[in-house]
Amino acid sequence: MRTVSENRCFGGVQGVYTHASEATGTDMTFGLFLPAEAADHPVPLLWYLSGLTCTHENAMTKAGAQRYAAEHGIALVFPDTSPRGEGVADDAAYDLGQGAGFYLNATEAPWAPHFRMWDYVAEELPRILTASFEIDEDRQAITGHSMGGHGALTLALSLPGRFRSVSAFAPIANPVASDWGRKQFAAYLGPDETLWRGHDASILMAERGFDGEVLVDQGASDQFLDLLKPEALAHAMAARRQPGAFRLQQGYDHSYYFVSTFIPDHIAFHAEALYR
């Protein structure tokens, strides 16, 4: 692993690191904020998964999360959203290919050799973090925005016991019924739609629920509401009697202004679960 940068930040350290990934067969870069407490003992970890077109850097520099994580003594990890580099398949569209990994393992050409973001986020990067930094592997939570909200929810719903809490900002909530999902699932997973269901948060919520609390914030003025389909997730949570909250925020759109407004609530929500 190579250190790209380390900067003092709210008493802790905001680092950026690059490593060779077995899962993707490429070099991968991630950001990691460690609070001051990590100098003395392992600390809880909150995962932040980013959305379409993002790298590790977007949330790291725009969400304003480090201040609140430092107050609660929580580490933050910001993975990249896809494999990148020479020889990695891509597409001219912004919502497929590099920057649009959708947090799944692709099985179709030309994506299958490198687009294995599920394995990277669920298995490989957790091992690297706990082996290399003062991270408490038993106290982890997950959040994300848009495509990253989709990833956070599907990972938490599919890996019982892994995360103590899950939240999402404007997640792609029902991708099997949306152009943000059907296009990508067909490309990455092939035409068998039964394989898509395991990557749809609304379906997983209805079938499994989450053994913990869920927090979802959705901007009521989000320009992508028709693609996100938040009503499907809200209905699934209600039908499941899922503990938690789905909040529709009047006047807010899909931007990082929305995320940065409510990130204090989300970090406090996760801190309560991580320290319970």
Q: pLDDT tens digits, residue range 134-150?
A: 999 999 999 999 999 99
List the pLDDT tens digit at each of the 276 positions of the chain.
999 999 999 999 999 999 999 999 999 999 999 999 999 999 999 999 999 999 999 999 999 999 999 999 999 999 999 999 999 999 999 999 999 999 999 999 999 999 999 999 999 999 999 999 999 999 999 999 999 999 999 999 999 999 999 999 999 999 999 999 999 999 999 999 999 999 999 999 999 999 999 999 999 999 999 999 999 999 999 999 999 999 999 999 999 999 999 999 999 999 999 999
For residue 132, what pLDDT is reported? 98
CATH number of the domain bearing residue 264: 3.40.50.1820
State the catalytic residue, choosing from 114, 199, 254, 266: 254
Residues 6+ apart with CB under 8 A from 69: 10, 33, 35, 46, 75, 76, 267
254 is catalytic: yes
State the catalytic residue, choosing from 80, 200, 217, 222: 222
Per-residue burial over 238-273, b = 16 or more CB atoms within 10 Å of its CB, e = otherwise: eeeebebebeebeebebebebbebbbeebbebbbeb
Q: DSSP letters along 207-269, please?
A: HT--SSEEEEEEETT-TTHHHH-HHHHHHHHHHHT-SEEEEEETT--SSHHHHHHHHHHHHHH
Q: Which domain holds residue 204?
A: 2-275
200 is catalytic: no
Total domain count, the chain: 1
Q: Residues 7, 23: contact at Cβ < 8 Å? A: no
State the catalytic residue, choosing from 146, 165, 167, 202: 146
19 is catalytic: no
